[in-house]
């Protein structure tokens, strides 16, 4: 009544909260406390907790897509090196992020088998990530750094899927395995 909520800011806070706590251990009450909304405003705006989650995943996807594009469009170095640097930095970022991983990956894991709409949304965002990565992969293939006997789409999928694997693993070890990540890219690289 005395305050018009900034929907974008609320969504960003939602991203943060779901990212840190996951879906089931985050309550609507806590969302309201953290965002300054009341339940009335929340349900009027977002209809349900699940729909709010879907909105946050989509928003998170936007952020990551922008990040990936920014990191890969620099073009100061080879596409291969850009990719290696990108993934190394994203893995490194986990240490200062309390190993929260990636919201899309987290939601695939927590909700994938039980909430179809969430699974579909996560899959959609994953595909968007691949679409940003793929041109760089293709470029690295054409430059001879990656094998050419495999489609760039498939290779992009392998890379990002493996990255997700490292993210999940780092949650339990509380360390980022850079050695393995580096070795992974060394193996991918044509000798």
Query: CA nearest 105: which of 11, 170, 180, 178?
Result: 170
Question: Which stretch, 24-32, 82-90, 107-115, 162-170, contacts DNA (CB under 7 A)?
Answer: 24-32
Residue 107: name the closest of 153, 52, 43 by CA: 52
Q: Would you mind telling me the total number of residues written for the chain in this entry? A: 191
Nearer to a copy of itself by Cβ, of 52 and 163: the residue is: 163
CB of 95 to DNA, least distance (A): 28
Taking the complex as a whole, the smallest distance from the CB of residue 50 to a copy of itself amounts, in Å, to 13
For a copy of itself, give the closer residue by CB, 2 or 113.
Answer: 113
Token look-up 């640097």 returns 85
d(CA 168, CA 106): 8
Q: Choose between 20 and 28: whose C-beta lies nearer to DNA.
A: 28
Residue 13 contacts DNA per CB under 7 A: no
Residues that bind a copy of itself (CB under 8 A): 20-22, 24-25, 98-101, 105-110, 112-114, 119-120, 122-123, 126, 147, 149-150, 154-155, 157-158, 161-166, 168-169, 171-174, 177, 179-180, 183-184, 186-188
- Return d(Cα 152, Cα 187) in angstroms, integer: 16
CB burial of 107-136 (b: ≥16 within 10 Å; e: otherwise) equals bbebbeeebeebeebbeebbebbbebbbeb
Is the CB of 82 or the CB of 170 nearer to a copy of itself? 170
The residues binding DNA (CB under 7 A) are 1-5, 25-30, 37-41, 43-45, 48-50
């Amino acid at each position: 009544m005395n305050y018009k909520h900034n929907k974008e800011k609320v969504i960003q806070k939602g991203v943060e909260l779901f990212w840190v706590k996951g879906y089931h251990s985050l309550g609507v009450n806590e969302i309201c406390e953290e965002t300054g909304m009341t339940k009335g405003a929340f349900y009027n705006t977002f209809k349900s907790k699940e729909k709010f989650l879907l909105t946050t995943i989509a928003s998170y996807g936007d952020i990551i897509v922008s990040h990936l594009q920014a990191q890969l469009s620099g073009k100061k170095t080879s596409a291969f090196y850009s990719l290696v640097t990108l993934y190394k930095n994203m893995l490194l970022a986990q240490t200062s992020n309390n190993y929260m991983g990636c919201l899309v990956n987290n939601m695939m894991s927590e909700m994938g088998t039980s909430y179809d709409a969430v699974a579909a949304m996560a899959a959609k965002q994953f595909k968007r990530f691949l679409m940003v990565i793929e041109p760089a992969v293709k470029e690295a293939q054409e430059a001879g750094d990656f094998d050419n006997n495999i489609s760039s789409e498939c290779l992009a999928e392998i890379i990002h899927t493996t990255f997700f694997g490292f993210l999940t693993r780092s949650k339990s070890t509380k360390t980022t395995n850079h050695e393995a990540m580096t070795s992974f890219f060394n193996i991918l690289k044509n000798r």
